[in-house]
Amino acid sequence: MITLGDYLLVSGILFSIGFAGVMLRRNLIIILMSLELMLNAANLSLVAFSRFRVDPGGLPNYNAQVFVFFIVTVAAAEVAVGLAILVALFRVRQTTDVKDISSLKF
Amino acid sequence: MSPFLFWVFALMTLTFGAAVVVNRNPVASALSLVVSFLGLAALFMSLDAFFVGIIQVLVYAGAVMVLFLFIVMLINLQTEERRQINWFAVVGGIGVALILVVQICFVIGHFRAARQTFPPLVRSTTDDVWNIGALLFRDYNLPFQIVGVLVLVATIGVVLLSKRAPR
């Protein structure tokens, strides 16, 4: 049988993949995609806990699913703003490589 | 859901998630991300969260991915030149991610509830969307309105950001 731990394991590995993407890649678009992977890994463990903690009425705990709804909304807004910044940057610098955008670096 | 299907969809999610990071071509990465999100939506459905699974497909595999693909094709990144790989960053990044995985495995191994299976559900008289909607509009009404304001601000911000500066 599938246990809660299996879902948490998948969620943790997915989060680590996204984290490795943010650390390794230098392309801003890929970094944004990896951020999405990390947010979705968090969503998966929220939904798993929601299903695990059944109410006395026999329904899953819907609070976590409302959380997931909010996370999805905020993530969509974040992607839109991030990509708009990327396009504005590309217009000025002709690059999406984070190594070329270090003028604020001390 | 049968364990076989669970592992199929979990492997699909993880493999294509890794493909997002590994692929050099951003278009291939974006398409891998779509498949990864579809696998994740299937996992949501296996947890009886049908509403969440459907918004996963609609919002991520639909809207967000179209946005990513549109931007990738707009700024035409096909020729990402091969720069020399910074081995220190590669080894460090993979090392930190592996340490994170080991830590998570350790925590899950010592978490007693993680070894239990999911309790059975009672068949509800109302459907999933109704239950979430009722909670959203009763208990979480204020956060819901705030998210609406957030989306409005994001829209205005995006329009302002993508407008050309007046000369």
* Chain segment B129-152, per-residue pLDDT in tens: 998 999 999 999 999 999 999 999
Number of domains composing chain A: 1
Rg of chain A over CA atoms, in angstroms? 18
Q: What 3-state class would DSSP assign to B114?
A: helix
Q: Cα(B141)–Cα(B163) distance, rounded to whole angstroms?
A: 34
For B58-81, write each residue's pLDDT tens digit.
998 888 999 999 888 888 765 555
Q: Residue B123: which pLDDT band, with cuts at 50, 70 and 90? A: confident
Instruction: Kindly state the tokens that stand for A39.
Output: 């947010």
Q: Answer yes or no: is A8 within a domain.
A: yes
Q: Could A20 and B93 be called an inter-chain contact, meaning their C-beta atoms sit closer than 8 Å?
A: yes
Contact A81 B154 (CB under 8 A): yes
> Nearest to residue A25, comparing CAs of B70, B93, B95, B101?
B93
d(CA A86, CA A69): 26
Report if residue A106 sits inside a domain. no
Question: Would you say residue A58 lies in a domain?
Answer: yes
Q: CA angle A67-A69-A70, nearest 5°?
A: 65
Instruction: Supply the CATH number for residue A31's domain.
Output: 1.10.287.3510
pTM above 0.80, yes or no: yes
| Beta carbons of A58 and B130 less than 8 angstroms apart | no
Would you state the pLDDT for residue A14?
95
Residue A33 lies in domain: 4-98
| A18 within a domain of the structure (yes/no) | yes
Q: How far is CA B99 from CA B80, B102, B112, in A?
A: 30, 5, 22
Among the partner residues A48, A54, A72, nearest to B121 by beta-carbon distance:
A54
Helices within chain A (DSSP H only): 4-24, 28-52, 62-93
In angstroms, the separation between the Cα of residue B149 and the nearest Cα of chain A is 11
Q: CA angle at residue A49 from A48 to A55, to 5 degrees?
A: 120
Q: What is the mean pLDDT of each run of 10 residues along chain A (106 residues)?
A: 89 94 88 94 93 85 92 93 90 82 79
**What's the pLDDT score for residue B84?**
67
Please tell me whether residue B81 adopts helix, strand or coil conformation. coil
**What ipTM does this complex have?**
0.90
Evaluate if residue B90 carries a pLDDT over 90: no
User: Which residues of chain A neighbour B63 with C-beta distances below 8 Å?
Assistant: 76
Q: Kindly state the DSSP code that residue B163 receives in the 8-state scheme.
A: S
Give the pLDDT score at B118: 84
Residue A103 lies in a domain: no
Cβ distance B75 to A20 less than 8 Å, yes or no, reads: no
How far B136 CA sits from the closest chain A CA (Å)? 7
Contacts B30 to A, Cβ<8 Å: 29, 33
**A68 is a domain residue:** yes
Q: Which residue has the higher pLDDT, B89 or B80?
A: B89
Whether residue B20 and residue A63 make contact (CB cut-off 8 A), yes or no, is no
Contacting residues of A for B141, CB less than 8 Å apart: none
